[in-house]
A and B are shown apart, each in its own frame.
Chain A
Amino acid sequence: MSNRMYVATRKGLFTLDRGRGGASEWSVSRTAFLGVPVSMVLPDRRDRFVYAAVGHGHFGAKLHRSPDGGDTWEECAAPAYPPAPEGEEWRCTARNIPIPQSLELIWALESGGRDEPGVLWCGTLPGGLFRSPDRGSTWELNQALWNNPSRKAWFGGGMDYPGIHSIVIDPKDSRRVTIGISCGGVWVTENAGRTWDCRAKGMWANYMPPERKFDSDIQDPHRMVACPARPEVLWVQHHNGVFRSRDGAMSWQDVETVKPSTFGFAVAVHPAKPDTAWLVPALSDERRIPVDGKVVVARTRDGGKTFDVLRDGLPQRHAYDLTFRHALDVDESGDHLAFGSTSGSLWTTDDQGDHWHTVTANLPPVYCVRFA
């Protein structure tokens, strides 16, 4: 059970610690970067370092790290794109705008494997994947993915440019990394990034022209997670619905049974039970609000055959909270979850979602929630 969580928001980073009263006893114990957008936070469970990505409106995206769980912070290197070859320009094929070879946003941060201390992976807009061997002191762009011709098909989803928001490092083989891109599908490397394959077979995008809707490299996975104990089982909340893979992304199955809606952004999976997953549905692409103004969590315990709609303790009248893709987390026990909303609410549960508790309704819009 984790007694600490980090909440990255539009206006700063909040550390919350749990008191003795369980899910109802979380409270803010520390703030950092107040007034500054914090796009991502990573508590590294290997060494207690914490990383916070800030996105200054004027001054660009930066990365800070803390060696002591958030007591003190120092700015470290932000990923930087190397210069583009002379005369080369990649353009977004959907809108015919140039894709800058420049860091726009840090959208994903993950620890490397247990066997590679200090290694970090970072997903960014406009679509570059970076790796650091030294806790963020230096970064290197993964050229194999960046120069893959399929990147020309990618386009922005909710952003001006394509972005990598999900990075899954296989706990059993650190060389195996799976990433999710809005909008560029799911990509897998088996050799630590030397080569990549697009693996989105089975995903489909009803909002695309009929002749393009099954193309793997234009799919829009909003968020992708894997079960740590069974990393070949992946769950994706996609723009077009929910998909699950049981074979390491080689194929995907459409999960159509989610109630009350298959649209949303966030998904979490139990650390040991690959058939148990949680989603926070919203009404639809066109109306990104809870169905009927009621905040609910959808939970399956049978791999998506059926879903429970969990609402105990969540607002059920005129609630218009949306949960972004990184704003739902489950701890290492699999019993405790937390999620935050665009309206600044934060809820926790100690029983896999049967009962929820409101920690606060007054945070800035929540981007990311992570247990330490």
Chain B
Amino acid sequence: MPQVTFTRNIQRHVSCPACQVDGTTIGEVLEAAFSANQMARGYVLDDRGALRNHMVVFINGTAIRDRVSLTDAVPADAEVYVMQALSGG
């Protein structure tokens, strides 16, 4: 199962503990991570379900390419990091 870790920066506003979830695309993985934590969803994704403009997601150290439909593939043993882009700071 992919392991998802959220930036410390976000924890100040909404609790986002690291978790292991099912999913083969980053969209599925994030939806699974947010399924029990709907408040956190809006901190990472916008109204359209796209990645927020100043957020970044890494899969095994590589930033995702499809920030709108979130179709990047996620290997079963992947490490996923959700963090803020410095552009928004």
Using CB atoms and an 8 Å cutoff, list the residues of chain A in contact with chain B: 56-60, 62, 75, 78, 80-81, 83, 100-103
Contacts and interface: CB of A to CB of B under 8 A. Distances in A.
B85 to A, nearest CB: 7
Given A58-B55, A59-B55, A101-B47, 6 more contacts: A57-B88, A57-B89, A58-B89, A100-B48, A101-B48, A102-B47
Interface in B21-50: 39, 42-44, 46-48, 50
Q: Could you tell me the dominant secondary structure of chain A's interface residues?
A: loop
Contacts, number: 45
B54 A75 contact: no
Contacts of B54: 57-58
A45 to B, nearest CB: 29
B6 to A, nearest CB: 11
Contact of B43 (A60, A80, A100): A60
Nearest to B40: A59
A249 B87 CA distance: 41
A60 B46 contact: yes
B47 A80 contact: yes
A81 B9 CA distance: 26
Contacts of B52: 58-60
Which of A59, A75, A78, A100 gathers most chain B CB within 10 Å? A59
Interface residues of B, number: 19
Nearest to A83: B48
A83 B68 CA distance: 13
B84 A81 contact: no
A58 B46 contact: no
A75 B43 contact: no
Contacts of B88: 57-58
Given A58-B9, A101-B47, A101-B48, A78 B89 contact: no
23 contacts: A56-B13, A57-B54, A57-B84, A57-B88, A57-B89, A58-B10, A58-B52, A58-B55, A58-B84, A58-B85, A58-B88, A59-B42, A59-B43, A59-B52, A60-B43, A60-B52, A75-B14, A75-B39, A80-B47, A81-B47, A102-B47, A102-B50, A103-B47
Contacts of A56: 13, 43
Closest 6 CB pairs of A and B: A58-B84, A57-B88, A59-B43, A58-B88, A102-B47, A80-B47
Contacts of B48: 81, 83, 100-102
A62 B42 contact: yes
B78 to A, nearest CB: 23
Nearest to A77: B42
Contacts of A81: 47-48
Contacts of B55: 58-59
A147 to B, nearest CB: 17
A78 B14 CA distance: 15
A83 B44 CA distance: 17
A83 B46 CA distance: 11
A102 B46 contact: yes
A133 to B, nearest CB: 20
Contacts of B9: 58
Contacts of B89: 57-58
B66 to A, nearest CB: 17
Which of A56, A78, A100 gathers most chain B CB within 10 Å? A56
A100 B47 CA distance: 10
Nearest to A36: B13
Contacts of A57: 54, 84, 88-89
Contacts of B46: 60, 102-103
A56 B50 CA distance: 17
A288 B46 CA distance: 33
B77 to A, nearest CB: 28
B42 A60 contact: yes
A118 to B, nearest CB: 22
Interface in B51-72: 52, 54-55
A56 B55 CA distance: 11
Contacts of A102: 46-48, 50
Nearest to A80: B47
